[in-house]
Amino acid sequence: MAANGSAQNGSVGDVPEDANQHCPGTEAETAGKAAACAGCPNQQACATAPKGPDPDLVQIAERMQTVKHKILVLSGKGGVGKSTFASQLSFALAGKDKQVGLLDIDICGPSIPKMLGLEGQEIHQSNLGWSPVYVEDNLGVMSIGFMLPDPDEAVIWRGPRKNGLIKQFLKDVYWGDLDYLIVDAPPGTSDEHISIAQYLKATNVDGAIVVTTPQDVAIIDVRKEINFCKKVGIPVLGVVENMSGLLQPLSSLTFKKIKDDGEEEDVTEAVLRELLQSSQESIYAYSEVFYALGGGAEKMAKDMKVPFLGRVPLDPQLSRAAEEGRSCFTDASCRSSAPFLNKIIEKIQLSVETENE
């Protein structure tokens, strides 16, 4: 059942979207038994479901007491670089001497273990609960990817089982004292999103960062993601436009002359000598990759009255860092993307840490 995030006529708990008028709510003692429930497609489920507060929510709240800031990283569409952003955000905060946890709730497509360089690692249990897998002493990670015997194995689960694992991650993982818990969610607004919003509702979530690419086909879905956040009461910390044009140092490009017969001639040395002879500064080449007919993420954020955090250019070196499971901030290889990421992350820090002072 999908909750619509609002109660009607003083109802108790969530009200399913396809519920009858005057629904008493899924948590009411009369759920599934009231006169208004007759003929409702949810009647049997509501009548047999356990009533009252979920005792697991108390345990989740207790676990989250040691976490100062909780941030969700969301996207309306897959392939926009959400997990890359979540992993690099975690690397950056850990690099600033923060205690960081990264929770991957993308049950069917867990990419965080690879992006943190933790493929093949396993979860261990102690008397305190599940222990995260650590990249550094101050950066722990939890993902279903650590539970799969084969990384190519498909996770074919229905909603209740996925929801149960998310709940288990929140109540059974012992993070210790954290400055930040970053939650990487799958694309869309489905079971995992409803669950994480419900389970963290009473734990003072700082908000969500929504990642998109500039083209309308992504922006359309991101609008839905932002509306989802508003409906379930999660503040939107801001929107990040990823892959916002290709920005590369001129010296890293290759130039070719294509002859009439289709033969290629490498003219890189001659072109760079001509272009760079008058300047000693670093020169970058920029090119649009996606056609942003509707004005891109910045206009969308303005229209929907949420903050725009900034743009991150498409950078092959950032992609390489994600593939190799390392931070893009530890060397100078990500020259095109790291400054933009740093600026966005500083805004996020300022926003959540100032809000909680």
Binding-site entries for [4Fe-4S] cluster: 23, 37, 40, 46
Q: What are phi and psi of 335, to 5 degrees?
A: -65, -30
Binding site feature residues for ATP: 76-83
Q: What are phi and psi of 349, to 5 degrees?
A: -60, -50
β partners of residue 124? 131
Angle, helices 159-172 vs 55-64, to 10°: value is 40
| Euclidean distance between CA atoms 158 and 40, whole angstroms | 22
Q: How far is CA 206 from the centre of its chain?
A: 14
CB-neighbour burial class of residue 332 (10 A; exposed 0-12, middle 13-18, buried 19+): exposed
Select from 12, 4, 2, 77 the least CA-distant residue to 41.
2
Q: Is residue 141 within 8 Å of residue 112, measured between CB atoms?
A: yes
Instruction: Give 34-88 as a DSSP string.
Output: SGGGTT-TTHHHHHHSPPS--HHHHHHHHHHTTEEEEEEEE-SSTTSSHHHHHHH
The 3-state DSSP composition of the chain as helix, strand, coil percent (nearest 5) reads 35, 20, 45
Binding site feature residues: 23, 37, 40, 46, 76-83
The token pair that represents 51 in the structure block? 């009533």
Grouping H, G, I as helix, E, B as strand and the rest as coil, residue 225 is helix
